Amino acid sequence: MSPEEARRRPPTAQQFVLAELRRAITTGRLRPGAPIRQDALAEELQVSRVPLREALKILEGEGLVTYKAHKGYCVATLSLDDLREVYRIRQLLEEEAVRRAVPRLGDDDLARLEAAQDEVERAAAAGDVSAMATANRVFHMTLFDCAGMPRLARLIRTLWDTTDAYRSMYYGDSGNRERVVKEHRATLDALRRRSADEAVATLDVHRDHAVAELEPLLDVQGR
């Protein structure tokens, strides 16, 4: 292992495994519905099954994997109903976060949001799906964090996680990437004018488009 890697590697194996599992799920290397063989995965990641199982327990709590006693873990699948439910809950929670955040937004916060948006636009132009997903997330979470409600922000993060496995498919389409860029600009504009109502409205549109694009993808998965 290079010094670089060693420095970035988390202080415990379970945290390392947790990060790896998240990546594997969001990048699609572990497909929704796929069973998780502990022995194979542990060997692949060069750890024993103990830290792997603890990491899986966390993901189970977050709903990213499902578990049945004596049967094991599977990558969670989303039904259409699940997708709509997750986005409806996000709508409720994100509206609250935005309304709390807007009056607290400082110039430094706006600068961070603009920096995040720059990165989104760069990734969109380059067609870098993975960077796009990351940057998009940074943009939204930066805003939500400004609400000063850490538990709310955490809940929203968890909800985002549950659809991460499908998000990369969404960004595979260049039309989707461009629309995301435009919608973010509208949100940023509303935030600059300190208009919570408009910011909420632009994000609602943003989400609705995502749902509309994701629904057919889920149908395919559901086979």
Contact residue for DNA among 9, 48, 126, 197 (CB under 7 A):
48
Sign of the four-CA dihedral 43, 49, 54, 59: positive
Two tokens, residue 114: 């603009």
Site string for a copy of itself, 68-107 (x = CB under 8 A): -xx-----------x--xx-xx--xx--x-----------
- HSE toward the beta carbon, residue 191, CA cutoff 13 A: 33
Q: Residue 53 interacts with a copy of itself (CB under 8 A)?
A: yes
Residue 72 binding partner per list DNA, a copy of itself, none, with a CB distance cut-off of 5 to 8 Å that depends on partner kind: DNA
DSSP 29-82: SS-TT-EE-HHHHHHHHTS-HHHHHHHHHHHHHHTSEEEETTTEEEE----HHH
Q: Residue 7 interacts with a copy of itself (CB under 8 A)?
A: no
Amino acid, single-letter form, for residue 12? T
Residue 61 binding partner per list a copy of itself, DNA, none, with a CB distance cut-off of 5 to 8 Å that depends on partner kind: a copy of itself
Residue 38 CB, shortest distance to DNA, in Å, is 4
Residue 14 CB, shortest distance to a copy of itself, in Å, is 8
- Cα separation, 199 vs 188, in Å, equals 8
Find out whether 152 and 93 touch, Cβ atoms under 8 Å: yes
The pair phi, psi for residue 67, each rounded to 5°, is -140, 135
Contact residue for DNA among 38, 66, 77, 158 (CB under 7 A):
38
Contacts with a copy of itself by CB under 8 A lie at 10-12, 15, 50, 53-54, 57-58, 60-63, 69-70, 82, 85-86, 88-89, 92-93, 96, 149-152, 154-155
Contacts with DNA by CB under 7 A lie at 11-14, 35-39, 47-51, 53-54, 67, 69-73
